[in-house]
Homo-oligomer: A and B are copies of this chain.
Amino acid sequence: MDLWVTEMWTPIMALSCKTKKTIHQEKSEYQEIAVVETEQFGRMLLLDGVIQTTVEDEFIYHEMIAHVPLFAHKNPRNVLVIGGGDGGAIRETVKHPSVDKAVLVEIDERVVEVSKQYLPEISCALDHEKVEVVIDDGIKYVKENKNQFDVVIIDSTDPVGPAEGLFSSDFYRSVYECLREDGIMVAQAESPFFDRKFIRKILSNIGSSFPLTRLYTSFVPTYPGGYWGFALGSKKYDPVEADPARFDKIDTRFYTPEIHKASFVLPKYVSEYLYEK
């Protein structure tokens, strides 16, 4: 049998990967969770049929969502990850010696459990001594924890269903308030090629609370178009600047201080739809 997993990147475009087998499939309280073994990317986590991460390419997305805000901050000690139940963003976060505590708030406990069981390369830091895993609604959590964090990383699913509220102005206001006075937030922000209006809206929503907003981008092969956006809000620090001295202490496969800077350089058409008119 020739078994392929196909994700509809849009209703009119799809990525298909040949699979060896289905490792796990269940319906949790929130979504369908699946882990399949693909030939190209190794194990792949899908939520409601949408590719979240794969063992072969996850380092790119997770390093870029974590290290850019963490290096933009001068001294990140307390970090909050919302979503990201696979543990990839947390794994990168605890690489920073300055981090005392990293809290993961994931609404679906089963995503955490399935990742621990079947994706050990990604979830390996979920039991780290600096990590606290909270099973809760991220929106509720940020409202209840004001002035607590230096960096907030919003590693959510796409803005449909449970994650929709994680892209609103109200939510970003709560994130602003849960950050300390020099805090930085970042949110995964969909495709700069396909989701132009939506990215513009995310940045505008972040900008209604944060004085500094920036989009940075990275290549991610298993996401639509292979190119992904990250929307950043900063209270104080210019996020384009990273401290190269701190980088020497941290082991990465994608991120470098030069990649940090380059990731803020946007193609002309992106700058135009984001910043013009």
Distance (whole angstroms) from the CB of A239 to the closest CB of chain B:
16
Complex-state Cα separation, A226 to B253, whole angstroms: 19
Could you tell me which residues of chain A, from 1 to 28, have a CB within 8 Å of some CB in chain B? 4, 6, 10-18
Closest B residue by C-beta to A260? B265
Give chain A interface residues in 256-277, CB to chain B under 8 Å: 256, 258-259, 261-262, 265-269, 271
Inter-chain CA distance A226–B15, complex, in Å, is: 11
Asked if A39 lies at the interface with its beta carbon under 8 angstroms from chain B, I say yes
| Chain A interface residue count, Cβ-Cβ cutoff 8 angstroms | 40
Residue of B nearest to A227 (CB): B219
| A161 CB to nearest chain B CB (Å) | 23
Counting CB contacts under 8 A, is A207 at the interface?
no
Beta-carbon contacts under 8 Å, A81-111 to B: none
Chain B residues with CB under 8 Å of A136's CB are: none
Q: Name A57's closest neighbour in chain B (CB-CB).
A: B193
Alpha-carbon gap, A233 to B97, bound state (A)? 41
How many angstroms between the C-alpha atoms of A220 and B255 in the bound complex?
Answer: 20
Can you name the residue of chain B whose Cβ is closest to the Cβ of A41? B13
**Interface residues, chain A, CB within 8 Å of chain B?**
4, 6, 10-18, 38-40, 57, 59-60, 193, 217, 219-221, 225-227, 252-256, 258-259, 261-262, 265-269, 271
The 6 closest A-B pairs by CB, nearest first: A226-B226, A221-B225, A262-B262, A262-B265, A12-B18, A12-B39
Additional A-B contact list (17), CB under 8 Å, known A15-B15, A254-B268: A6-B16, A12-B18, A12-B39, A12-B40, A14-B15, A16-B16, A59-B269, A193-B221, A219-B225, A219-B226, A221-B226, A252-B268, A256-B267, A256-B268, A258-B265, A259-B266, A261-B262
